[in-house]
Structure 1
């Protein structure tokens, strides 16, 4: 039996994750959403929706939600979805930090397991080197991506850096999952994880599978790593996550 609290529960990745989690015997899935019109759809997937805006809520209000639901784990899969720069900062950065602080403050009596869904190539490009495993085509793709959605990347970087650098005082058992470009294709059940570059996409269904694998694998605690769809030498999702955890492969350390 497990209880999971998902922030951004109406998103496509979160919906896939909800189906996976709710299929487990005795599992409870709470889903934080802003729009009441989405409640019926999420209930059909097996979630118990909670209406709350991380953009508008106070940390104390989010803490109250966490204490009410008593989750074994929290998943952050929320985002402004390409909105204005102000809203992207308010949700992807500031909203995430509110949840970090709220979870740290909450009295749950359980380990504070937290999985953060971020994005590949979230890094400090101004003062840190290019990742040494990047190939020329990865560098080219990175430049194009930052030019196109730099505001989004900066918000993600600020949130991820805060999660890592401030965890000494928060004490969250976090994992940061950094998927590449998302597709709506059916999941394959196979992925590349760790220092895999930027080439290719990944089905949202497989991102959800990877989140679940992280929740079930304590070796990923304290790590941030990249995730892409299958390619040469690809492994099943559980195998790929286990490999990253065993090797302590981190793609954020030294780049923020």
Structure 2
């Protein structure tokens, strides 16, 4: 069944990979982007670009962009080089805003690309510590939403190595690297597997084919 899937952070490295996979699989990816000049890259990946800044948009505005969607993916991030303030506005508040908008638009399926180590109580004052706290707080908020069929994916250290399709996907994997290719492929598989709703999963490279790994955590 073809799904319309809206991806926040539509020009991100994982998002562009995911858009290509979804488009190739017969789905309709829609990427939310902040800058109009990013639209061409999304079209090239097979996605429909929608210019919408999650740092300034209202819940109503975002809900309008989500209407008619079958699923939402939060893959946005303030990115390297951004300060602690934007970790909070993008990595926490934008994820919560997107959840509010999904509820308003009646879109139940919500997949979050989080980070291994995300924890609202994570100690430390470095920017990366702030990032892990923001991600953890966002994850906690999403997990409290009974109106959403959420899945939270927490990849290990992201690499640009070619994907292998072989992963370790469990509630706790321990630290390790994982190619962005494989993260995108796991997100695509999670979207196809509604029985993964309600799970928080860690992801690293491993020895299990990713489709088998997703079926296993779904209890299939």
Please give the TM-score of this superposition, normalised by the length of structure 1: 0.81
Matches within 5 A, 1:1-256: 1-25=2-26, 27-67=27-67, 70-82=68-80, 83-107=82-106, 112-125=108-121, 149-165=128-144, 167-168=145-146, 171-194=147-170, 195-198=172-175, 200-230=176-206, 234-246=207-219
How far the C-alpha of 1:23 sits from its partner, in A, is 0.6
For residues 68-87 of structure 1, the C-alpha deviation after alignment (integer angstroms, 9 at most, x for no partner) is xx111111100100311111
Judge conservation of contact 2:119–2:137 (CA < 8 Å) in 1. no
How far the C-alpha of 1:146 sits from its partner, in A, is 8.4
Judge conservation of contact 1:210–1:237 (CA < 8 Å) in 2. yes
Q: In 1, distance between residues paired with 2:121 and 2:213? A: 27
Q: In 2, distance between residues paired with 1:152 and 1:124? A: 10
1:31–1:124 distance in 2 versus 1, CA, 3 Å: closer
Judge conservation of contact 2:84–2:127 (CA < 8 Å) in 1. no
The residue matched to 2:31 in structure 1 has which SS? strand
Q: RMSD between aligned alpha carbons?
A: 1.8
Q: Which has the larger radius of gyration?
A: 1
Segments ≥4 residues shifted beyond 4 Å? 145-148
How far the C-alpha of 1:217 sits from its partner, in A, is 1.2
Q: In 1, distance between residues paired with 2:64 and 2:189? A: 28
Q: In 2, distance between residues paired with 1:125 and 1:76? A: 22
Q: In 1, distance between residues paired with 2:125 and 2:186? A: 25
How far the C-alpha of 1:123 sits from its partner, in A, is 2.5
The residue matched to 2:66 in structure 1 has which SS? helix
Q: In 2, distance between residues paired with 1:222 and 1:203? A: 24
How far the C-alpha of 1:219 sits from its partner, in A, is 2.0
Q: In 2, distance between residues paired with 1:22 and 1:147? A: 38
Stretches of structure 1 lacking an aligned partner (at least 5 in a row): 127-142, 248-256
Q: In 2, distance between residues paired with 1:158 and 1:47? A: 30
Please give the TM-score of this superposition, normalised by the length of structure 2: 0.93
